[in-house]
Amino acid sequence: MANDDIWILGINMTKFGKHPNEDVVDLASEATLAALADAGVTMADMGILAAGNLMGAAAGIGQQLQKQVGQTGIPVFNVANACATGATAIRTVIMAIKAGECDMGLAVGVEKLSGAGMLGAGMGPAASDEWTPSGRLGAVSGLEGKLGTDMMPGVFAQVGMEYGHKYGGTSFELFARISAKNHSNSTLNPLAAIQKDMTFEQIMAEPMIAYPNTRAMCSANSDGAAAAVLVSGEKLRTLSKEQQRRAVKVSASVLTSDPYEEGCQILPNVNTLTRNAARQAYELAGIGPEDLDLVELHDCFATAELVHYDNLMLCPEGGAVDFFESGAPFRTGSTPVNVSGGLESKGHPIAATGIANIWEICHHLRGEAGPRQIEGAKVGLAHVIGLGSACGVHILEKSGL
């Protein structure tokens, strides 16, 4: 291993779902202590803490967490970056280790979201039928009045429909079948919020949220936390052989935002920044999408999964429908996608998701995923995207030590 290699030494997550008797500090502490135990280290070994929490970002979750798991005086970075919050916490720790400020650090993401309703609601409707830019919104505007919705189900419904109009082949049934794949996968994941197999007919019969996404095709708002301990390659060499064997290499860690495009001033562009992040990640890792053994991507809606097949270059441009129809993204396919059940089933406690997606990949690379194990998995990709917009892509590799 090179001196500048970064490794995940320990990682864990709580069960996602409803936790009425636990607050964000309880959940974050549970994930943190489990990740430290998984790594075989303590808070005294940490040189930095990056803690993500979106809905209560002003409260300083990192400092609150320290009071429960150990106050050691280390720098704390409280992170909020939409649905990419957890990935941003991971990226923050990686940058600190690469900068030589520490050799080990902790990233945590936590959220209480069960019963939150539709995310994006409550931003306020248009004041009138006519939208007029004014003040700061004249330069960087909100969505309301241009799209007719500022709610994520509507935005991602349009993203999927736009892809279908451009390339063809999409249908209500196709998106339902994507969702059915993920719901089937969830039955093998004991930490998923929803562990229920559903046929595509059942999914299509669910209440319509924003065509073509019914309720079962939408990510499940839930409570949960995830945490990861990261370590430098140099420090890892001083640890036990068992710690080295279970460590997972971070071959690429990339965070992007929207480049300027005229269109993204109107409709959030989840495509360009994801494609840019994927391209950078493959280059850093020295691999191509054909080398991936599994992918956890941000399927906040069934429509999102389809377009991200394309954005992550798992298929030729415009070929997402053919990619799905080939069976490639199924658990037994050539490039399994969202074997955890994805956000639609595993759940989506916003700040925890980016780390939870990485946890799933690590689980397979370590050979610890039980009945949903992708046999022989050596390389995986974890992806998250948050409107605003931010995209995190991490490529992970099995330890050869």
Q: Which residues have a catalytic role annotated?
A: 83, 348
Q: How far is it, in rounded angstroms, from Cα 361 to Cα 114?
A: 25
Integer CA distances (angstroms), 184 to 178, 197, 232, 348, in order: 10, 5, 37, 17
Tell me if 224 sits within 8 A of 347, measured CB to CB: yes
Longest dimension (CA), the chain: 66
Q: Among 179, 224, 214, 174, which Cα is nearest to 199's?
A: 179
Q: Among 191, 193, 163, which Cα is nearest to 175's?
A: 163
Reading the block at residue 339, the tokens are 């074997």
Tell me if 367 sits within 8 A of 353, measured CB to CB: no
**Number of separate helices (H) and strands (E) present in the chain:** 13, 11
Q: Among 81, 68, 75, which Cα is nearest to 25's?
A: 68
> Which amino acid, 309?
Y
Reading the block at residue 204, the tokens are 């299509």
Q: How far is it, in rounded angstroms, from Cα 313 to Cα 309?
A: 6
Cα 249 to the center of its chain, rounded Å? 18
Within a 13 Å sphere around the CA of 56, how many CA atoms are in the beta-carbon half? 15
Spatial strand order of the sheet with 104-111 comes to: 76-79, 49-52, 104-111, 224-232, 6-13, 248-257, 390-398, 379-386, 294-296
- In 3-state terms, what secondary structure has residue 387? coil
Cα 101 to the center of its chain, rounded Å? 27
Tell me if 17 sits within 8 A of 364, measured CB to CB: no
Integer CA distances (angstroms), 24 to 10, 58, 82, 171, 174, in order: 21, 13, 17, 39, 37
Q: Among 92, 127, 340, 346, which Cα is nearest to 219's?
A: 346
